[in-house]
Chains A and B, each alone.
Chain A
Amino acid sequence: MYAQMVDTGASRLRSREEMDADEQAFQARIDDGQKIEAQDWMPEGYRRTLVRQISQHAHSEIVGMLPEGNWITRAPSLKRKAILLAKVQDEAGHGLYLYSAAETLGVSREQLVDDLHTGRAKYSSIFNYPTLTWADIGAIGWLVDGAAIMNQIPLCRCSYGPYSRAMVRVCKEESFHQRQGYDLLLALCRGSEEQKAMAQDALERWWWPALMMFGPPDADSVHSAQSQAWKIKLLSNDELRQKFVDQTVPQAEYLGLRVPDADLRWNTERGHYDFGAIDWSEFHAVLKGNGPCNRERLQARREAWAEGEWVRAAALAYADKHAAAERHSQAA
């Protein structure tokens, strides 16, 4: 998912009795399933956690444009080029919906973008992996968007109104993303031996990072417990991961691709797939900035922003000049 390990600032989950009257009333509204709106009173921790989570999600959309954007100019047919461009454009749109939701909490876009560029804010670990072949575009749509949707659908019901409405919009648009990825891989798997090998290679490189997207097991995480109490996280990381594996393995089989996990097998008793251990040291290394493309991704965003500064300044200067001229002509 696009928000991983969001810090809630809580050291432990507090009981109802330990909350003051405002917090109790707030928690009661959430328990009652009511939506919290921007102007409503909210605990500072809730506000800060949401800003972190929503902006992390927004940054992931924007940074996520880069690995796929790599291939727009190299898409192998005009139809695929248009589809990929529309998809990457949607990511920009989703980023904007989410920044807009975060801004209702009293932070500016500029601040959020600055947090990303200075490394204070995180984005999903998955976008620090390279897109080496055209099949990677399929793997991202199928696996990465598939994992993201799994997380985003429950978030449509989250407690914060602007976030939940943004998620509804995102989810409506996102289902095309997963399908286009699968469709792309299907074409490869029905194609030449070389194309099929390309698809298999992509699955091998993206499978484990996709499972890591859900974040570490959160059974003991105090942040997860707090986020769940606030209803800004609705299912646990492991629940979502299991759901993802259960859904995805048969899809891989249909493609005729092999999932790179020797321990993967159907567990009749549990009614779920068992799967192998995830290498969390890799996840933490990527999160710390040591993934294959962390530097390139951030560098690209910083450059875009820095090189765009004169453009943004020009548009503001023009608006100011013409607003002043208008006031002048109205006064005259």
Chain B
Amino acid sequence: MNDARFECLLRLGDNALVLAQRLCAWIGHGPVMEEDMAQANVALDLIGQARLWLAYAGELEGRGRDEDALAYGRDAGAFRNVLLVEQPNGDYAQTIARQFLFDAWHHAELSALTASSDARIAAIAAKALKEVSYHLERSSDWMLRLGDGTAESHARLQAALERLWMYSGELFDADAHDATLVEQGIVPAPQSLRAGWLQQVGAVCTAATLTMPDADAWMQHGGRQGRHSEHLGYLLAEMQFLPRAYPGVQW
């Protein structure tokens, strides 16, 4: 029973951690300094959330692994984040599109999790939801500005959307762990969030003069089960190198 919950917490924690790690690379290199500030705030929120989810995962597991042991001690195959968040930053359009597609799902997921039968999950979700509401507002703002800005920004964002689209389907995948947890009222059924997500993404795309890709297009799967893209290995190599070079010490 705890296996499923452990998996679910890793998924939540790894999504936040991997996306934060991606955003960290923007700091000092953003298109305008105000955006560096904003991206840093989003990344800080996500690191905070990752710590809460992973710490809980470690406790449930009961093998003495804390947030850092989980973040720094697992290889790519043991990471449970969706493929979407590990996609490279690309240009600012790709970063914004990735953020928006994720935020829209993240917001719906956390909203549902506030009613989780696991009180601790519900509490973490309630805290994270406030942060993610702001993330979603901001990424929506930028979808509009890039989509309905100049011809160049429109083309870039449309391309980014099409490029990332095949990673969006996985957000609504369900496996045996999900089935167990749904039955226990711990998590929402992933598919139950899809219609609302499609509607929201569609509305923002329309307002941003973008064409939303086909909802039934071919989708990639596997991140939630530990089958990742090539990108995650490099991301982890960078993130984990110090604790791996100097094992067993405190920082």
Contact = CB atoms under 8 A, between A and B. Distances in A.
Given A62-B33, A187-B251, A312-B31, A317 B24 contact: no
B24 A310 contact: no
Given A89-B44, A191-B249, A308-B32, A76 B145 contact: no
Listed residue (B31, B34, B150) with the most chain A CB atoms within 10 angstroms of its CB = B31
Interface string B65-80: 0011001100000000
B44 A195 contact: no
Contacts of B36: 65, 89, 92
B133 interface: no
Interface in B43-60: 43-44, 47-48, 50-51, 54
Given A307-B91, A314-B150, A85 B47 contact: yes
A67 to B, nearest CB: 9
B153 interface: yes
Contacts of B43: 85
Interface stretch (B98-106, B170-178, B180-188, B235-243): B235-243
Contacts of B149: 313-318
A80 interface: yes
Contacts of B68: 77-79
B50 A86 contact: no
Nearest to A72: B24
Interface string B13-26: 00001000100110
A76 B243 contact: yes
Listed residue (B21, B28, B144, B238) with the most chain A CB atoms within 10 angstroms of its CB = B28
A309 B51 CA distance: 35
Contacts of A96: 33-34, 37
A315 B35 CA distance: 12
A311 B28 contact: no
B246 interface: yes
A80 B67 CA distance: 12
Contacts of A316: 149
Contacts of B123: none
Interface string A179-223: 000001001101110110000000000000000000000000000
Contacts of A72: 24-25, 27
Interface string A86-103: 101100110110010000
B250 A89 contact: no
A127 to B, nearest CB: 11
A332 interface: no
Contacts of B31: 304-305, 307-309, 311-312
Contact of B37 (A92, A99, A184): A92
B210 interface: no
B63 interface: no
B251 A73 contact: no
Contact of B47 (A62, A81, A313): A81
B148 A321 contact: yes
A303 interface: yes
Contacts of B246: 76, 192, 194-195
Contacts of B202: none
A28 interface: no
A73 B239 contact: yes
A136 to B, nearest CB: 13
B84 to A, nearest CB: 19
A312 B47 contact: no
Interface in B140-157: 144-146, 148-150, 152-153, 156
Interface string A276-313: 00000000000000000000000010011101111111
Nearest to A188: B251
Contacts of A194: 246, 249
B27 A89 contact: yes
Contact of B28 (A66, A82, A187): A66
Nearest to A82: B47
Nearest to A96: B33
A29 interface: no
Given A310-B153, A311-B92, A76 B29 contact: no
A119 to B, nearest CB: 19
Contacts of B200: none
Listed residue (A76, A305, A313) with the most chain B CB atoms within 10 angstroms of its CB = A76
Given A86-B44, A88-B28, A310 B156 contact: yes
A78 B40 contact: no
15 contacts: A65-B36, A69-B28, A72-B27, A76-B251, A77-B243, A88-B40, A134-B251, A191-B251, A195-B246, A307-B91, A308-B31, A311-B146, A313-B152, A314-B145, A314-B150
Interface of B: 17, 21, 24-25, 27-37, 40-41, 43-44, 47-48, 50-51, 54, 67-68, 71-72, 91-92, 144-146, 148-150, 152-153, 156, 238-239, 241-243, 246, 249-251
Given A75-B242, A99-B33, 18 more contacts: A72-B25, A72-B27, A73-B239, A76-B246, A78-B47, A78-B51, A79-B51, A85-B47, A86-B44, A88-B40, A191-B251, A195-B249, A308-B30, A308-B32, A311-B92, A311-B146, A313-B149, A314-B153
